[in-house]
Amino acid sequence: MQASPRLSIIIPSYDRPQLLTRAVQSALSQTIDDIEVVVVDDGSPDPVVLAPHPRLKVVRLSENRGTAAARNAGAKAAQGRWMSYLDDDDQLLPDMARLSLEALERSTLPPPVAVLSGLEVVSPAGQVIETRIPPTLLRGSHFFLEEIEPGKSFISKQTLVVERSLFLKIGGYDEAFQSRVHTELFLRLNPVCSILGIPNTTYRLMAHDGPRISRNPALRQVSFNQLVQKHRQIFLEHPKMFSDFVYKHAQTSHHLGQTRPAIKSLAWAFVLHPSHTSMKLGRDFLGRLGGAFRSMFSNPIGSH
């Protein structure tokens, strides 16, 4: 293991040995050698076993503490100036480290600066379903509550490369959250750090039918409420984008079969910014989401 690699790639994992092996291999296959890979075994029933590698470190937690705690443990165990995360069911493309670090070296944004890169969603058959390109936001902004240019997406937070000292200084991930951990972190990071978005695709989010915390309906509702309560003042300062955030939560809740939370969130979005929500609802009734919203209103009383 190098004494002080430039970049630490941290992979939290719980009881997914086959997927983990693929993720680790993608991290170790970067086109630059000045990296380390830190796997955090979040108390898996069977301890993680990986082939030894000079740039690989495994940290085992004595009990399952959840994704935020595992990520924080990885950051504390890492040695790199810069750090990034990789979910154990996803993959990095070989140039992720090189492209991210080179972009940071060239950046003229107000420091400190972190970088996001493009993310592609890939089907089990290997087909690219969607590509997400991140925006650039100056220090002092509020990530996902700012308006961004068409074609850019906030949903590429997994690609973050940030200075480890800054990450630890702002407290890392909030371990009270089980879902929305990236979203909550960025609301604290962007006010003190510029976010540089680059168009290069470096991360593969692998679509599959297995469990993902982001798809857990109960956790999504609890963490949504936690997030709004913790950062309520920031949300209220951005009423249009706050309504947009709540509106998207209504869409996802309905998609997950949570009809009552969906209707409650939709009504809340109207209260926050009536004209913006009306415009979005009208557009979606006419577009691809029309069927979903029509069914929501035709059967408003759900069991969820």
Q: Model confidence over 157-167: pLDDT tens digits?
A: 999 999 999 99
Cα separation values, 231 from 67, 106, 162, 219, Å: 21, 33, 22, 18
Q: Which two tokens stand for residue 49?
A: 């076993």
Cβ-Cβ contacts under 8 Å for 239 (sequence gap 6 or more): 272, 273
**75-101, pLDDT tens digit by residue?**
999 999 999 999 999 999 999 999 999
């069911």: which residue's tokens? 89
Sign of torsion over alpha carbons 115, 118, 121, 125: negative
Q: pLDDT digit of tens for each residue in the chain (304 aa)? A: 556 899 999 999 999 999 999 999 999 999 999 999 999 999 999 999 999 999 999 999 999 999 999 999 999 999 999 999 999 999 999 999 999 999 999 999 999 999 999 999 999 999 999 999 999 999 999 999 999 999 999 999 999 999 999 999 999 999 999 999 999 999 999 999 999 999 999 999 998 766 555 556 778 899 999 999 999 999 999 999 999 999 999 989 988 889 899 999 999 999 999 999 999 888 876 554 445 554 554 444 333 3
Q: Which domains does the chain have, with CATH numbers?
A: 7-206 (3.90.550.10), 238-298 (no CATH)
Inter-axis angle of helices 239-255 and 217-230, nearest 10: 170
User: Facing residues of 115 across strands?
Assistant: 161, 196
